[in-house]
Structure 1
Amino acid sequence: MTFGFAPSADTSPWAASSMPADSTSRLARMLEPTEWTSAGIPLLRNPREVVSGLHARHRPTPATAVVAVLDHEERLNASASFVRRGSAVADGWEFRNALLSHLRRVIPHDLRRRTPARTAVLLYCREGDERWTEEDGAWMWGLRDACTLHGLRCGAYITLTRGGWQVLGEGRGGRQPSSLSTPASLAETFAAVPTPLRTGGGAAEVMLRTAAR
């Protein structure tokens, strides 16, 4: 799969000089692929299995974010999904708050641990192709910050588009599932019964499909 940058008016050479202060602050709350790669994000052992499982559980459509918490063996402990509302410019601070809110609903924090024992990953279903966008950068910043505030290890950021899925910053991906494909049943996705998910006091239906719509 190709890797590059989607066109953006904010990346033009003359844009920075005329950029208002709030835009400058917003751009500071995003991560570019090189920054993400250098952050030492742990690699998923089986990204296809993780993506297929989340796709089957949450059935994401464009603008849907799925945040999941995995244990050290990549078993799913908890997950939640929600739809990004409106057409406002992407801001990592708002994404961080949304992710943190949903994490708090489905799983207790690990702030008392010296080192994180669990890892949070984010699957974002969107329009466009697999190339990095400023919206991706804002989600990356938001995921990293939300993990810090919830005592989790920051894990992979995965995009789901018409062309398939891709783990950004790694170059790993596949054509199935995609934003257009029909989700498989959980019975088809998991060969064995998965570890029971924790709700952290949240409603059980949060784990089945969406935490908010």
Structure 2
Amino acid sequence: MTFGFAPSAATSITGPTGSANRLARMLELDEWAAAGIPLLRNPREVVSGLHSRHRPAPGTAVVAVLDHEERLAASASFVPREAPVDGWEFRNALLAHLRRVIPHDLRRRTPIRTAVLLYCREGDERWTEEDGAWMWGLRDACTLHGLRCGAYITLTRGGWQVLGEGRGGRRPNSMSPPADLSETVIDAVSSPVRGGGVAVEALRRTAAR
């Protein structure tokens, strides 16, 4: 896997004021890496499970909530509306979908559930300004929903990558067929929502390893 920075094809920022505001609503890769994001014990399992459930195409975001044992509590996929890359817009979209699939934990003193974001996009695994805006949006949405901010994962033609950690793999990728869902989860219940998909899972781990 290669590391570095790449321009975002989705970035469309015009005007000095709009540019400054939007750039303030994104996180650089080093800021994200230093933010104390909890490590996933088995990122490949998380990525494969979300890929099987939601079958994301490029441009699709999948937000998932994990319990304290890293079991999937809820997830939702959606395609954000076409707009200039802005962490504020991404935050609002993530928060709206979190509210649809799982109650908030704002009454808890300490978050016990963690939200992670898988974003399927074009390009390679290098950080882009679009990724930085998603990171800002995820962090803010988690705060407003009483969740711990978890990993940000990209899914591209080359594979998947947990940004800020250096962990990744070649499969699944944005072109690979999803694995059979029965291989990764049991007792799954799913229901459609306009503009994306939702899956609420029984909090049990598959026995097959």
Q: Structure 2 length normalisation: TM-score?
A: 0.87
Shift of 1:187: 1.1
1:118 aligns to what? 113
2:29 aligns to what? 33
Q: Which amino acid aligns with 1:183?
A: P
Shift of 1:148: 0.0
8 Å contact from structure 2 (residues 80, 93) kept in 1: no
Q: Determine helix, strand or coil for the equivalent of 1:205.
A: strand
8 Å contact from structure 2 (residues 66, 115) kept in 1: yes
Taking the aligned partners of 1:112 and 1:188, their CA distance within structure 2 comes to 35
Q: Which amino acid aligns with 2:173?
A: S
2:138 aligns to what? 143
1:205 aligns to what? 192
Deviations 1:112-144 (A, max 9, x none): 000001000000000000000000000000000
Q: Which amino acid aligns with 1:29?
A: R
Taking the aligned partners of 2:8 and 2:183, their CA distance within structure 1 comes to 40
2:4 aligns to what? 4
Identical amino acids, percent of aligned pairs: 81
Taking the aligned partners of 1:132 and 1:84, their CA distance within structure 2 comes to 19
Deviations 1:37-69 (A, max 9, x none): 111000000000000000000000000000000
Stretches of 4+ aligned residues off by more than 6 angstroms: none
Taking the aligned partners of 2:153 and 2:16, their CA distance within structure 1 comes to 30
The one of 63, 66, 74 equivalent to 2:59 is: 63
Shift of 1:2: 1.1
1:165 aligns to what? 160
Shift of 1:89: 2.0
Structure ranking higher in helix proportion: 1
Q: Determine helix, strand or coil for the equivalent of 1:105.
A: helix
Unaligned 5+ runs, structure 2: 199-209
Structure ranking higher in strand proportion: 2
Q: Which amino acid aligns with 2:24?
A: A
* Alignment size in residue pairs: 192
Q: CA RMSD in A?
A: 1.8
